[in-house]
């Protein structure tokens, strides 16, 4: 688990889904988030991931460490920057958690999403919540209840992956160039509007959307600083 580089100059978070949950994993995600926030988040942040647990992936973790990890992933999910995942092979454990928190997901053809199984039952972490929220309960029932892998093609159909490419790195370069000018702060607002829409009534959401529209109008008006 590591990250290296500087924002817009090769920064990459690398997630190994085969390794157990650890405080180092939490620190890697937190460090990336802190660095991105300090640079206002313009542009796309690539995250490379691969691997799924072959044995118990929680190791000697306790619920306090699990909580820290889930909060770090939530921070990444709400980051004021576009996060682009590049996935290869089976993804489970830490890799699956992070994949489901990213904005745009590119995968190699051999990619499969695998919910880790502990003591014969699937791990009940927040990947379960994100899978159901993003793809629907019926679509992910076998994966969550029985650990059935979701193949790349099926994951695209369910919008859990966005593109499958023989050369994910080349596609990553295209996507990051295309998204380079997107302001992270504005992206974060729109992402939150999407998330809130699932559980918020029209009446409750209207005020927040009007505030976002007002902000957009002010940004587009010459000489007006929001």
Question: Structurally, what CATH architecture does the domain formed by 2-178 represent?
Answer: Alpha-Beta Complex (3.90)
Which is it for the CA torsion 136, 139, 142, 147, positive or negative? negative
Residue range 120-160, pLDDT digits in tens: 788 899 999 999 999 999 999 999 999 899 999 999 999 99
Taking only the tens place, the pLDDT of each residue in 75-126 is 999 998 889 999 999 999 999 999 999 999 999 999 999 998 877 788 899 9
Phi-psi region of 73 (alpha: psi -120 to 50; beta: other; left: phi over 0): alpha
**How much of the chain, in percent, has pLDDT values that exceed 70?**
90
> Region 37-59: what's the mean pLDDT?
81
Weakest-pLDDT range from 11-15, 122-126, 210-214, 218-222: 218-222
* pLDDT (average), residues 14-26: 93
Q: Report DSSP letters for 54-100, one per residue.
A: SS-SSTT--HHHHHHHHHHHHHHHT-SSEEEEEEEEEE-THHHHHHT
CA dist list (Å): 86 to 10, 33, 133, 171, 219: 14, 18, 21, 9, 32
Using the 8-state DSSP alphabet, how is residue 20 labeled?
P
State both tokens at 176. Answer: 């990051």
Q: What are phi and psi of 101, to 5 degrees?
A: -100, 0
Q: What is the mean pLDDT of the chain?
A: 87
Q: What is the mean pLDDT of residues 163-182?
A: 85
């Amino acid at each position: 688990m590591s990250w290296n580089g500087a924002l817009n100059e090769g920064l990459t978070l690398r997630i190994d889904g085969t390794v157990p949950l650890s405080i180092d994993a939490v620190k890697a995600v937190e460090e990336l988030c802190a660095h991105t926030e300090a640079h206002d988040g313009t542009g796309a942040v690539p995250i490379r991931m691969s691997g799924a647990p072959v044995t118990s992936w929680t190791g000697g973790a306790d619920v306090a460490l699990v909580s820290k990890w889930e909060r770090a992933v939530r921070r990444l999910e709400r980051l004021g920057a576009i996060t682009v995942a590049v996935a290869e092979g089976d993804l489970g454990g830490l890799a699956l958690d992070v994949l489901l928190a990213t904005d745009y997901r590119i995968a190699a053809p051999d990619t499969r999403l695998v919910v880790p199984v502990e003591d014969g039952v699937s791990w009940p972490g927040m990947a379960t919540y994100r899978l159901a929220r993003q793809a629907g309960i019926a679509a992910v029932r076998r994966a969550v209840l029985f650990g059935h892998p979701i193949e790349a093609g099926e994951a695209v159909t369910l919008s859990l992956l966005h593109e499958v490419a023989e050369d994910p790195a080349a596609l990553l370069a295209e996507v990051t160039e295309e998204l380079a000018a997107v302001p992270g702060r504005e992206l974060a607002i729109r992402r939150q509007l999407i998330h809130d829409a699932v559980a918020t009534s029209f009446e409750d959401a209207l005020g927040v959307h009007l505030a976002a529209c007002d902000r957009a109008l002010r940004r587009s008006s010459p000489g007006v600083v929001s």
